[in-house]
């Protein structure tokens, strides 16, 4: 049965599904990684799991989030382990190996693209405009890229 379980499972759907995941976790067939996020990989590290599945986890946990600023240009977490997102709130969320830095802003628009499920990525134009703004260094890194680091169209 363990081979038939997916690597990532989410609770919070129907009540029956949430109960099934709870029973499966209690039986020791899956383990909790984050609130509502489980894995059948019983031996792996949470940091590695989150880095491998960050798109699915963000899409499920924060539907409507938009990959923005430097993250929209790099298509991945920054070298320091930050993911810059735009949503309906300002917030910093710390997960093992990944920090989500939310900026309050407009939702995905016509030019923005779906990246994974309910997670979107800023259009090239929007990302370039976001990266033109001056940003202070926070926790050793700017949310924007310097112009020589821009890779439009990548």
For the segment 53-86, what is each residue's pLDDT rounded down to a tens digit? Answer: 999 999 999 999 999 999 999 999 998 999 999 9
Per-chain mean pLDDT for the chain: 88
Exposure string for 106-130, b = 16+ CB within 10 A, e = fewer: eebeeebeebbeebbbbbbebbbeb
Asked if 67 contacts 85 with a C-beta cutoff of 8 angstroms, the reply is: yes
Q: Does any domain span residue 61? A: yes
Average pLDDT over residues 86-104: 96
> How far is C-alpha 126 from the geometric centre of its chain's CA atoms?
19
Does 28 share its domain with 64? no
Q: What is the pLDDT of residue 54?
A: 97
Q: Does any domain span residue 103? A: yes
- What is the Cα–Cα distance from 9 to 21, expressed in whole angstroms? 8
Q: Nearest-5° angle of CA 14, CA 15, CA 17?
A: 65
What is the three-class DSSP state of 73?
helix
Strands 82-87 and 66-67: antiparallel
Q: What is the pLDDT of residue 148?
A: 52
Q: Does any domain span residue 69? A: yes
Does 105 share its domain with 154? yes
- 147 band by pLDDT with thresholds 50, 70 and 90: low
pLDDT at 37 > cutoff 90: yes
What is the three-class DSSP state of 62?
coil
Tell me the residue range of the domain where 38 lies. Answer: 1-44
Structural domains of the chain, count: 2
Of 21, 17, 45, whose CA–CA distance to 33 is shortest? 45
Query: Other C-beta atoms within 10 Å of 49: how many?
Result: 22
């Amino acid at each position: 049965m363990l081979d038939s379980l997916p690597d990532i499972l989410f609770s919070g759907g129907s009540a029956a599904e949430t109960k099934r995941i709870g029973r499966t976790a209690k039986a020791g067939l899956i383990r909790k990684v984050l609130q509502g996020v489980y894995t059948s990989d019983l031996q792996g590290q949470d940091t590695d799991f989150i880095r491998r599945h960050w798109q699915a986890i963000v899409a499920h946990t924060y539907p409507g989030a938009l990959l923005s600023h430097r993250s929209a240009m790099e298509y991945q977490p920054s070298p320091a382990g930050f993911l810059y997102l735009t949503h309906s709130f300002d917030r910093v969320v710390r997960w093992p190996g990944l920090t989500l830095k939310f900026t309050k802003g407009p939702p995905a628009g016509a030019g923005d693209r779906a990246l994974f499920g309910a997670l979107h990525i800023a259009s090239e134009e929007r990302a370039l405009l976001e990266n033109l703004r001056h940003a202070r260094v926070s926790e050793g890194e700017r949310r924007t890229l310097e112009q020589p680091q821009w890779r439009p169209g990548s």
